[in-house]
Amino acid sequence: MAVSTSPQPLEGTPPALPPVHSWLLHVQAQVEEALDEVLHLPDEECLDPRWAGALAQVRSYALRPAKRLRPALLVAGYALARDDGQVPPGLWRFAAALELLHTFLLIHDDVADRADLRRGGPALHRMLAPGRAGEDLAVVLGDHLFARSLEVMLSSGLPGAARTSRYYLGVCRHTAAGQYLDLDLGRLPLAHVGLWRTLKVAHLKTARYGFCAPLVCGAMLAGAASPLEGRALLASLERVGRQVGRAYQLRDDLLGLFGDASLSGKPGEGDFQQGKRTYPVVAAYVRASAPERAELERLWALPAEEKDAEALARARGLVEKCGGLAACERAVALASRSGQRTLERLPEAGGMRQLLTELVGRLARRVA
């Protein structure tokens, strides 16, 4: 599919829908059109039928229905810096590149977590082959998407694309640090984790690359890099992303223990199965009595095969009883409100500030 070559307004979607919802649908449609284009690679598809089949599988995986939040935030950052309501065609390609990079991270994350589901379907390594073979193949395809994302960023034709790509790659290095720390926490007793460690992981692994960077990249591509006013906008967008990204990750922590797989597209017991030391678990631990702490340590240290429905129910009940669920809900609300307060100081930009404010509220309340 060809991506439209004329500048496009931020609006232009069904009027019956709430504005933020219709805007997100518009972004999703444009980005998925761009994704479909950049994932068709005739020069590679002719190399070998097996490689062509693998590319078809990863394309199908990448095009599953998804929120496309990072592209939406990129467009928002661009609009806040430009205030002319126009999206150049190259921005949709750059947005597709962010989504490719996000998909690469999801693939590797699912391999590390040995996850079965992603976006309502099997994780990519489960699609490719059983066991270790599927994991190895998925890592290779993830690496391929990483390379393709850089290629698409640099070929977007946007002024400042190279500078913006360098900034984004620096953020990706911090994302790797966050993923490492997240996996490493799983080896520690709950007594040695601390809430500050979970918040550091949330910032490095989720908030910086998933929220701060798309907003900042959008503004950089619009030219907000050197003048004093532009630097102030970038700093404000970084603050918004940090708070909204924290709220998003903490909500994800709740969904990873208490979520409904039919709504979220991933198991609601996944974090317990993997022994993750997430915010609600650690918040429960610091509030628990000595016997309750011992029980939480025991449950989270169980081998995966012993984490049955009874153990899950006990774990959920303890986290709720000890106040971990409520503490995490409060932290989500606090971070969300902080992000919204920073948003209030940004330019209106043709309604974009209001759209972002509504989006922040939706993300704090999400069930998927």
Q: What is each CA distance from 30 to 53, 225, 354, in whole angstroms? A: 25, 26, 21
pLDDT of residue 226: 55
363 close to 210: Cβ distance less than 8 angstroms: no
The whole-angstrom separation of Cα 20 and Cα 356 is 8
- Half-sphere exposure for 142 (CA within 13 Å, toward CB): 21
pLDDT of residue 1: 37
The whole-angstrom separation of Cα 234 and Cα 261 is 37
Q: What is each CA distance from 52 to 128, 207, 236, 257, in whole angstroms? A: 13, 34, 44, 38
Domains of the chain, start order: 16-365 (1.10.600.10)
Reported pTM:
0.89
How many Cβ atoms are within 10 Å of 246's Cβ, its own excluded? 24
> 6: Cβ–Cβ under 8 A, 6 or more apart, which residues?
89
Beta-bridged to residue 8, according to DSSP, are 87
> For residue 34, which of 102, 84, 99 has the smallest C-alpha distance?
99
| pLDDT by residue, tens only, the chain of 368 residues | 333 334 455 544 444 556 888 999 999 999 999 999 999 999 998 899 999 999 999 999 999 999 999 999 999 999 999 877 788 999 999 999 999 999 999 999 999 888 888 888 999 999 999 999 999 999 999 999 999 999 999 999 999 999 999 999 999 999 999 999 999 998 999 999 999 999 999 999 999 999 999 999 999 999 865 555 678 899 999 999 999 999 999 999 999 999 877 666 666 678 899 899 999 999 999 999 999 999 999 999 999 889 999 999 999 999 999 999 999 999 999 999 999 999 999 888 788 899 999 988 888 887 76
